[in-house]
Amino acid sequence: MDNRLTDALAFANYRLTLQTQRKNIDARVETMLLLNYNNSIFKVTQSLIGYVSSQVSANPKQVLYIEDSIGNVSSIEKSKDFLKNLLETYNKALELKYNEQQKLKKARATKTVVGAK
């Protein structure tokens, strides 16, 4: 096969591997964004953090009613503590995503994308 074609196909394989790895980072981050609180599992999102934060600012002692990841409503009495947990979970997940993306930016070959020997 013509070298130019071989190189182009190798590059295509690199692009596919890179794109899949990006998706895999997202998948891992998704699992890290799960928070188990009050016997319910919440998916931590910016909007959930924003909503809880505004409730805490307006009335820190108010009981919050929040839908969990499968739509069941959970009553949360310690809203401040809940907010703290949401923020911790979110920051940890996004920090990992940032670090992994930085690693990927430097990877210019298929082998380095997956970190193979």
Q: Report the distance separating Cα 70 and Cα 8, nearest Å.
A: 45
Alpha-carbon separation of residue 76 from 54, 63, 80, 82, 115 (angstroms): 15, 6, 10, 8, 43
CB of 13 to another protein, least distance (A): 6
CB of 116 to another protein, least distance (A): 5
CB of 45 to another protein, least distance (A): 13
Residues that bind another protein (CB under 8 A): 9, 13, 16-17, 20-21, 23-24, 26-28, 30-32, 34, 36, 39-41, 43, 68-70, 72, 110-111, 113-117
**What is the phi/psi pair of residue 10, to 5°?**
-65, -40
